[in-house]
């Protein structure tokens, strides 16, 4: 049953509810929290210290809590499963003066789901240079500006990096609101080494630059992480196999946190064969294991004798050779 179809009543923690766009088990809500079913997780309805006899403050007064200082807030949003939104993210989005969004139509669905009515402003790679000064001016006037991408953490292969750099240079507070991130989610469940990793993101479009970057990654001992569009998968696997080697292990993560979540594991050669006849949908996060540490083998006796003979023939004294 959809949450919006329930009768007007508080949600009981004893009866977890499933939301229409969620998957998995809904986490029970602590007893002291009550939500209106028509505005689930809305800050205007959320009161961590709720007292039944105390009248609720007006919605406009709740939109700007005393402890939320002006500045740029980089808000992580779900990469698929809406249950991954945090209470803090909802509070910031509900309290901001404006939300910068990569795709206002896409983000509008997220805000509508949580009954957040903060105005949206488009902010994407094609207009970020034009928007920067306008946003900076609003920030210097003391406004709260939230930045979100279509999914995940802003600034990580998404718009936001340049605006954050500008704000830092202008001494405007930049506040991270942690949330989902595809590369971290994929790495944690990959089964590959997490001690050290390199996030490459999307590869260059130019063939020469792309292969040069892959060659640099192939030499590293750290796990390599790439973002690959589905229509570029075959190209990536073909080039990856030839540069990394057919036997290098890889993990292909797709549809993470969604109903059809999948982690495919195998060698690059196996991946090349499997996905040459299979075309997955959705953005892909691909991880390739780092190069094994080369084993340093001690020189053989024959090699040492030859090197010693060569040094002596070149005029080096025996005592000098032994000392070196």
CATH number of the domain enclosing 272: 3.30.950.10
Task: Tell whether 169 is covered by a domain.
Answer: yes
Residue 46 banded pLDDT, cuts 50, 70, 90 = very low
> What is the model's pLDDT at position 294?
61
**How large is the C-alpha radius of gyration of the chain?**
27
Task: Tell whether 123 is covered by a domain.
Answer: yes
Domain of residue 127, CATH code: 3.40.1010.10
DSSP 239-260: HHHHHH-TT-EEEEEESTTSTT
> What is the model's pLDDT at position 300?
73
The Cα–Cα gap between 318 and 173 comes to 69
**pLDDT per position as a tens digit, 218-250:** 999 999 999 999 999 999 999 999 999 999 999
Task: Tell whether 248 is covered by a domain.
Answer: yes
**pLDDT per position as a tens digit, 116-129:** 999 999 999 899 88
Both 192 and 172 in one domain: the answer is no
Burial class (CB in 10 A: 0-12, 13-18, 19+), 188: exposed
Looking at 180, 210, 235, the residue that finishes a domain is: 180
Both 200 and 114 in one domain: the answer is no
Both 171 and 220 in one domain: the answer is no
Task: Tell whether 170 is covered by a domain.
Answer: yes
> What is the model's pLDDT at position 20?
40
Both 215 and 119 in one domain: the answer is no
Task: Tell whether 301 is covered by a domain.
Answer: no
Both 160 and 80 in one domain: the answer is yes
Looking at 120, 154, 180, the residue that finishes a domain is: 180
> What is the model's pLDDT at position 296?
58
Question: In this structure, are residues 43 and 91 in contact, taking their beta carbons and an 8 Å threshold?
Answer: yes
Q: Residues 137-161: what's their mean pLDDT?
A: 95
Predicted TM-score (pTM) of this structure = 0.70
Task: Tell whether 324 is covered by a domain.
Answer: no
Beta bridge partners of 101: 122, 148
> Which is more confident, 41 or 121?
121
Both 176 and 207 in one domain: the answer is no
- The closest alpha carbon to 217, from 271, 290, 294, 269, belongs to 290
Task: Tell whether 260 is covered by a domain.
Answer: yes
Task: Tell whether 30 is covered by a domain.
Answer: no
Looking at 129, 146, 180, the residue that finishes a domain is: 180
Burial class (CB in 10 A: 0-12, 13-18, 19+), 157: middle
Both 187 and 241 in one domain: the answer is yes
Residue 47 above 50 pLDDT? Answer: no
Domain count, the chain: 2
Q: Which residues span the domain enclosing 120?
A: 71-180
DSSP 8-66: S-PPPTTS----TT--SPPPPPPTT----TTSTT-TTT--TT--TTSPPPPHHHHTS-T
């Amino acid at each position: 049953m959809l949450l919006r179809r329930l009768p007007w009543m508080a949600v009981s923690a004893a009866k977890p509810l499933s939301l229409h766009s969620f998957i998995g088990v809904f986490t029970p809500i602590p007893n002291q929290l009550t939500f209106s079913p028509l505005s689930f997780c809305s800050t205007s309805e959320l009161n961590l210290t709720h007292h039944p006899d105390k009248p609720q403050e007006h919605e406009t007064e709740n939109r700007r809590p005393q402890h939320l200082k002006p500045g740029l807030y980089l808000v992580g949003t779900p990469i698929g499963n809406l249950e991954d939104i945090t209470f803090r993210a909802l509070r910031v989005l509900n309290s901001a003066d404006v939300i910068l969004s990569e795709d206002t139509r896409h983000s509008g669905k997220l805000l509508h789901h949580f009954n957040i009515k903060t105005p949206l402003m488009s902010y994407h790679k094609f207009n970020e240079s034009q928007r920067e000064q306008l946003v900076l001016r609003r920030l210097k006037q003391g406004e709260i500006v939230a930045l979100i991408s279509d999914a995940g953490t802003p600034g990580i292969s998404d718009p936001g990096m340049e605006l954050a750099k500008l704000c830092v240079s202008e001494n405007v507070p930049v506040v991270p609101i942690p949330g989902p991130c595809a590369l971290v989610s994929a790495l944690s469940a990959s089964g590959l080494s997490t001690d050290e990793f390199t996030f490459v993101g999307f590869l260059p479009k130019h063939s020469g630059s792309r292969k040069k970057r892959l060659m640099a990654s192939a030499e590293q001992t750290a796990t390599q992480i790439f973002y690959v569009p589905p229509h570029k998968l075959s190209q990536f696997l073909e080039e990856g196999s030839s540069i990394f080697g057919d036997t290098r292990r890889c993990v292909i993560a797709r549809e993470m946190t969604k109903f059809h979540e999948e982690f495919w594991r195998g060698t690059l050669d196996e991946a090349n064969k499997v996905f040459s006849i299979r075309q997955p949908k959705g953005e892909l996060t691909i991880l390739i294991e780092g190069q094994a540490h080369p084993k340093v083998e001690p020189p053989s006796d024959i090699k040492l004798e030859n090197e010693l003979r060569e040094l002596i023939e070149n005029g080096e004294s025996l005592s000098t050779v032994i000392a070196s």
